[in-house]
């Protein structure tokens, strides 16, 4: 089951109490205070892991408390520190403080570890309070409580390419044909109920990650259909493949394109402004060449790259894959050139200290 939102309650362990004790040993007439300090409570950490792609493990286990510190003992023995706990989340998880709404951390790389709830400090034993004028103190400190927080976890899938389009536009069929992903495929709308990721092999050890999200309908940004719940999964993508059904069973492809575009613009101007390739699907069922020609002319007039495919027969799939690869390479090159120009404009040189 794909779960992309979860609420959790985390609490650091309480610190152990210090202790009041005095040394009483044979042949030691003035033993003095010997109360040890309490141990520190364990802390709670979040760590991103590549082995996870859902927040399902938090749905039925939302409470997480670290181990408390042990109390101090006589003979100045320090209480043991509490054990930390590490909670693993998928890469792409954003962590928000539920009360304030502020973002705590955004996990964009595997292996990131962030302190979420710090354990309480252990209390001081009476040995810590001994002074030249107070050689037998009878006081100690109690341990401090651990930090407590309520957090909202929100997963945004990290992919290179995002598939968008109306329900039954052929998105799931495409990802199943060009990757190892196996989403449910049927001839009715809203077959896809959760996002799917697929890795596409370009050869020569080059790959890109493709994200398929449930189909959009008019009013999706306000919650219609599956709403905007899954739109955030394409926020991190670099490129959009806009799938449009041009078969005889479809409506006007130009109007379908405009419907999805309006929903993207209403949801986020940043998402709507991402580079886009338009893909005319179900060419095997095309019954009107004029409809296709009109749609192609519409896309070219807007400066959009246009491809035609049939996922059922495989026609145009290889050309589309390589076109996506070239587009991603161009975007990477432009990004690298921009970084280089920015560094040069700042006057920084990596060899300036040599």
pLDDT tens digits for range 107-157: 989 999 999 999 999 999 999 999 988 888 999 999 999 999 999 998 887
Q: How far is the C-alpha of 210 from the C-alpha of 161, rounded, in Å?
A: 5
159 SS3 class? coil
Cβ atoms of 59 and 2 within 8 Å: the answer is no
Question: Does residue 279 have a pLDDT over 90?
Answer: yes
Average pLDDT, the chain: 85
Question: Does residue 174 have a pLDDT over 70?
Answer: yes
pLDDT computed for residue 44 by the predictor = 97
Quickly state the pLDDT bin for 19 (edges 50, 70, 90): very high
Distances (CA, A) of 136 to 17, 23, 31, 130, 239: 19, 10, 10, 6, 72
Quickly state the pLDDT bin for 222 (edges 50, 70, 90): low
Domains, the chain, in order of start with CATH, read 1-155 (2.70.210.12), 161-335 (3.40.50.300)
Distances (CA, A) of 28 to 33, 97, 127, 186, 247: 12, 55, 16, 86, 97
Distances (CA, A) of 203 to 146, 311, 318: 52, 20, 12
Mean pLDDT to the nearest integer, 185-213: 71
113-117: strand order across its sheet: 85-90, 44-49, 113-117
pLDDT computed for residue 77 by the predictor = 93
Give the model confidence (pLDDT) of 180-191 as tens digits. Answer: 766 555 454 445
pLDDT computed for residue 223 by the predictor = 54
pLDDT computed for residue 229 by the predictor = 63
Strands 276-281 and 239-245: parallel
β partners of residue 53: none
Mean pLDDT to the nearest integer, 206-217: 79
Q: pTM for the whole thing?
A: 0.71
Question: Does residue 348 have a pLDDT over 70?
Answer: no
pLDDT above 90 covers a percentage of the chain that reads 41
Quickly state the pLDDT bin for 220 (edges 50, 70, 90): low
188/327: higher pLDDT: 327
Quickly state the pLDDT bin for 46 (edges 50, 70, 90): very high
Q: How far is the C-alpha of 87 from the C-alpha of 322, rounded, in Å?
A: 39
Mean pLDDT to the nearest integer, 82-111: 92
Quickly state the pLDDT bin for 196 (edges 50, 70, 90): confident
């Amino acid at each position: 089951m794909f779960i992309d939102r979860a609420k959790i309650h985390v609490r650091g362990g309480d610190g152990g109490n210090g202790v009041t004790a005095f040394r009483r040993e044979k042949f030691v007439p003035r033993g003095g205070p010997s109360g040890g300090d309490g141990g520190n409570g364990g802390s709670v950490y979040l760590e991103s892991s590549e082995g996870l792609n859902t927040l399902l493990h938090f749905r039925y286990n939302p409470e997480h408390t670290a181990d408390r510190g042990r109390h101090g003992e006589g003979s100045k023995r320090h209480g043991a520190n509490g054990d930390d706990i590490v909670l693993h989340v998928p890469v792409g998880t954003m962590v928000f403080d539920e009360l304030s709404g502020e973002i705590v951390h955004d996990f964009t790389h595997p292996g990131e570890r962030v302190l979420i709830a710090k354990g309480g400090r252990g209390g001081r034993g009476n040995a810590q309070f001994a002074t030249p004028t107070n050689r037998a103190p009878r006081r100690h400190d109690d341990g401090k409580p651990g930090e407590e927080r309520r957090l909202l976890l929100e997963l945004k899938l990290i992919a290179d390419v995002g598939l968008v389009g109306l329900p039954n536009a052929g998105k799931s069929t495409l990802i199943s044909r060009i990757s190892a992903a196996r989403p449910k495929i049927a001839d009715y709308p809203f077959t896809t109920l959760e996002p799917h990721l697929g890795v596409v092999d370009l050869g020569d050890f080059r790959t890109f990650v493709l994200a398929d999200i449930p189909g959009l309908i008019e009013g999706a940004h306000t919650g219609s259909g599956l709403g905007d719940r899954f739109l955030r999964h394409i926020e991190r993508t670099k490129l959009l493949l806009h799938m449009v059904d041009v078969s005889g069973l479809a409506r006007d492809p130009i109007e379908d394109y405009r419907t999805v575009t309006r929903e993207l613009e209403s949801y986020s101007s940043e998402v709507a402004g991402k580079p886009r390739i338009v893909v005319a699907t179900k060419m095997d069922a095309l019954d009107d060449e004029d409809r296709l020609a009109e749609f192609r002319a519409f896309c070219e007039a807007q400066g959009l790259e246009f491809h035609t495919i049939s996922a059922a027969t495989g026609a145009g799939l290889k050309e589309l894959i390589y076109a996506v690869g070239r587009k991603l390479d161009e975007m990477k090159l432009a990004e690298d050139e921009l970084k280089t120009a920015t560094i040069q404009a700042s006057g920084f040189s990596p060899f300036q200290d040599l």
